[in-house]
A and B are shown apart, each in its own frame.
Chain A
Amino acid sequence: MLRVALKGLAGRKLRAVLTALAIILGVAMISGTYVLTDGINSAFTSIFTQTYQNADAVISAKTAFTNDQGNQVQAPGFSQSLLGKVQTLPDVNAAAGSVTDDQTQLVGRDNKVISGGGGGSLALSVNPTGDQRFNPLKLTSGTWPSGPHEIAISSNVASSKGYKVGDTIGVARNGPVQQFKIAGLVELPGVSIGGATLSVFDLPTLQKLLGRQGELDIIRVQSKAGVPTSKLISEIKPILPHGTQVRNVAAQVKEDKKSASSFTSFIRYVLLAFAGIALFVGSFVIANTLSITIAQRTREFATLRTLGATRRQVLTSVIVEALVIGLFASVAGLFLGLGIAKLLNSIFSLVGFDLPTAGTVFETRTVIVCLVVGTVITLIASLRPALRATRVPPIAAVREGAELPRGRFARWAPWASGVTLLLGVLLLGYGVLGHHLPTSTRLLSLGVGILLLFFGVAANAQRLVKPLASVLGWPATRIGGTAGVLARDNTMRNPKRTASTASALMIGLALVTFVAILGQGIRSSFESAVDQLFIADYALTSSNTFTPLTIQAEKAIARAPGVTVVSGIRAGSAKVFGSVENLTGADPNLTKVIHLDWKEGSNAVPAELGQTGAFVDDKYAKSNDLHVGSPLDIETPTAKVLHLKVDGVFKLPKGGSPFGPVTISNALFDKNYVDPQNEMAFVNIEGGVTPANTAALNKATAGFPDAKVQTHSEFKSNFEKPLNAIISLLYVLLALSIIVSLFGIVNTLVLTVFERTREIGMLRAVGMTRRQTRRMIRHESVVTSLIGAALGIIVGFFLAILVTHALSDEGIVFAVPYASIVFFVIAAIIVGLLAAIWPARRAAKLNVLEALQYE
């Protein structure tokens, strides 16, 4: 019987491949995700390890805490004098100090910042003379920079922007752009750093550029031969000044990797979630395809039974087929994933995340997960059709069109599907609305709830097919003529099959609808918050809006003619009530540019903050029981504690505000934070927003290529850019699931064309042309997709309403992007048209005579 199963597969290769396609894409996504994130992790490990080559111990500055975003917390440097002391230690063979920075931007010939693309704008110092044992970089041309006017840049910048040794390039950090001569081009061997830009200077030059003369960030120490690192470290410890620490290289690399690996973990889980969705859709497609093929093989199964095959043998044979398909699909997907990894990397770069990669990392874990997941999902999806195959009675071998007897539990099927749907809705509600529950319970409830919801809708969808098809198929009857009418009737002929095919598309469309509505909700509430708060004429931010901007730019813009108010908002982190929060700084003129509604206090508050005051938002005040007069202690990254008093509580608008939970005065901020920066600054100018004023402000900030002057509406659209980019990314990831469901439609059409061979032959014999035949199949396909779209959009709305309601106090409103919804409907129609291309051709190519004689 095994041979029968395998030979059966080999004889129906096309069908097997069509079935397998459903799983290949999902598995490829898993494989690609692992390959990509493993590559990124490997790159980071290489980078961090190479950074400390030849060193045994690393001395660095301590921060009291770290913010998850990493670059928000700037560690203060330590005195250069420590280097001399370390070098004289008995077991030290060599030691070298350097400074580093992650906001040193290169400025191109057009006076625009060369973006670091998510990888950052990094600067390192090197010693141009002396040995380069600690220097992880390699020169690809030229020499190490020496002196106050020389720089070396990473070769990726050189090739993408057309620079070579001897050219000049601008550098911006904390002040106007300075020009440097390119002495050499560097790279980190074996690693592609993605889009990150690297600037290399000699130590005094970089120290001056950063305004940190006499300071170091890192000392690398190499021990004498034979000295264990622990001994070295114990020698170093006693001479360390307060605020510094020493680690062995392994521990240092581990520390450095923390934020990088949490980022890649996050990406990995998100991508795997989308792979999971694609596989979920794939399982629907497999179940549907197998159901159809098994119905078509009724006579074959019945014959086997008459020859003495037991029901178990039939079950085993179908399951073996599914197993082989699953295995084959998993292997194919595994290798396709290598291509997907590259594709994902390109997509991420397009969205602005050009991350470092280090070759292709193909781990055993990737292979195992792909094979197991792909095969298991295929098996599970095949169970129901396989069981149905066992119910074929032997008499079906002689009787044409014998009805498959219903299973033992068939009577309860309508109840079961209703209960599934209800349970899904309940679990969703529970997860979404249960604020008091732990997050893991809520997520589990949500996850299972969504699955059950989809299953429930799919199971009940057959009841909706007839009404939906008659409505959605109406255009087909109008524009398709007879072919259109036949097409619509064909979709209604077997509601179960149509529903099953449409359900696969439903899942993808429900999710894109959900994302679209949520995105619009976030946008709307953000826009209304900006409308409420932003009363200034212009805003000043960095060019990519989210990174902070040097306060020198604020000072420069204040000198523009006609400026009446410039108010900057500082950004940093502090530890308050035991957790790390965003801390912002406000200027006395704040209320002239930002409109705040005060719960306690008044517009006089920002000017009165002084050295001891702070204001908080009302949400934070509520959860920490703060009122005007309450004491508030905050810990800065230098571990200094500031004892403050709450002077005011403002009402936080739904869509957010530029402020963190706690805001202090800029004066106090600048005193306690290394290298204070603005997250944004606001400007009022005589005459308001005019082209002349815009030009004047741009001129004033010309020396800061990273600075961007925006009006109220430009500010809104610039902030929304990343949100839109993320939503587009989500659409692309969901498109994978939609493509899988497209294959599902192709499968169903190909199989039903095959099934209706005689019927199509008859239609052609009585005069239907090939073109009409193709049209009929096309319309059938489009009506099926539209049914899937209708179901999906309704489910998507439902999910969005649920989640918006739950997150309403987090600041999301319910807003419908009608244009997007229309776009989705059009996309569904296109999916239908694409899916029909091949089956329509097959149907039209049928030889009439052979078709009529087909058994």
Chain B
Amino acid sequence: MAVREQPQGDVVVPAHAAVEARGLTRVYGEGTTAVEALRGVDIDVQSGELVAVMGPSGSGKSTLMHILAGLDKPTAGTVMIAGNEITRLDDSQLTKLRRQHIGFVFQFFNLLPMLDTEENVTLPLSISGEKVDKAWLDELLTKMGLENRRDHRPAQLSGGQQQRVAIARSLVTKPTILFADEPTGNLDSKTGGEILDLVRSSTDTYGQTTVMVTHEARAAAIADRILFLEDGLIVKELRGASQGEVLTVMSSLH
């Protein structure tokens, strides 16, 4: 297990809870047409944990992740990331927080089409102006199987390769927490499986705390903990479940 550097700066990192959320509520619209996407959710994600958030469509799982990741503000409730109350931060404070503490993997990869692999991976560093640790970069690229694709543009990569680039990008700053939004949603099952292996091994090798939203049972099965959402509330939690157990819970929810 590689030693994780403690980030410097004005952010305090407590030892264990990477993410702590209390009473998360999210209401869209007003009056009679209001939609309650989340209706009071509490979450704790421990440092080094891989948590999956599952649920049918409309359960609020995407909304939950957006709020945890600071992309959206809850109607009520608080979120603490690495000891920072993010719901109160303004835009530039949030931006700073993102650089150090939040990593992202998107369903549609979201790579910049005109940059090659190496540039895409180091993009967060060039944005924050930090120097690239060559050894760390090489290690990441090797781990993702991209050493021979350093100067390829996304258009020259397959879907799976693009998602690997995205994962490498999300890990390069060694963020406090990595959010993965349906990382296998745009991939075939074989490639998807490879990606899931990489997500699992990042947590194992680097202790990368990860929250993954998915609707695939196979994906949820790699997690340490699985939270099931239905109608805006957490209705069940599983630990170390197999794919079959996940499927059973899922069918009981419909």
Contacts and interface: CB of A to CB of B under 8 A. Distances in A.
A11 B114 contact: yes
A305 interface: yes
B104 A11 contact: no
| Chain B, interface residues (CB within 8 Å), range | 20 to 34
Interface stretch (B24-32, B37-45, B120-128, B136-144): B120-128
Contacts of B169: 307
Contact of B123 (A10, A307, A393): A307
Interface string A739-769: 0000000000000000000000000000000
B72 A395 contact: yes
Interface string B95-130: 110110010101110101111000100011011100
Contacts, number: 71
A645 B99 CA distance: 92
A785 to B, nearest CB: 33
A299 B95 contact: no
B165 to A, nearest CB: 13
Contacts of B123: 4, 304, 307
A309 B95 contact: yes
Nearest to A305: B95
Contacts of A7: 114-115, 119
A313 interface: yes
Interface in A1-59: 1, 3-4, 7-8, 10-12
A304 B104 contact: no
B71 interface: yes
B10 interface: no
B152 interface: no
B167 to A, nearest CB: 14
B110 A3 contact: no
A304 B113 contact: no
A307 B119 contact: no
B115 to A, nearest CB: 6
Interface in A127-156: none
Interface residues of A, number: 26
A350 B139 CA distance: 72
Nearest to A394: B71
A728 interface: no
A308 B66 contact: no
Contacts of B126: 1, 3-4
A398 B181 contact: yes
B45 to A, nearest CB: 19
Contact of A313 (B66, B98, B108, B127): B127
A311 interface: yes
A441 interface: no
B33 interface: no
B92 interface: yes
A855 B108 contact: yes
A330 B227 CA distance: 59
B72, B104, B108, B110, most chain A CB atoms within 10 A: B110
Nearest to B155: A11
Nearest to A12: B114
A553 B102 CA distance: 96
Interface string B67-104: 00011100000000000000000011001101100101
A8 B114 contact: yes
Contacts of B209: none
CB-based closest 6 A-B pairs: A11-B114, A308-B99, A395-B71, A308-B98, A303-B110, A7-B114
24 contacts: A4-B115, A4-B126, A7-B114, A7-B115, A8-B114, A11-B113, A12-B114, A299-B110, A300-B112, A303-B106, A304-B127, A306-B71, A306-B98, A308-B96, A308-B124, A308-B127, A308-B128, A310-B92, A311-B91, A311-B92, A395-B71, A395-B72, A398-B62, A398-B181
Given A303-B106, A308-B127, A310-B92, 11 more contacts: A1-B126, A3-B126, A10-B114, A300-B112, A307-B98, A308-B96, A309-B95, A393-B71, A394-B70, A395-B71, A398-B106
Interface of B: 62, 66, 70-72, 91-92, 95-96, 98-99, 102, 104, 106-108, 110, 112-115, 119, 123-124, 126-128, 169, 181
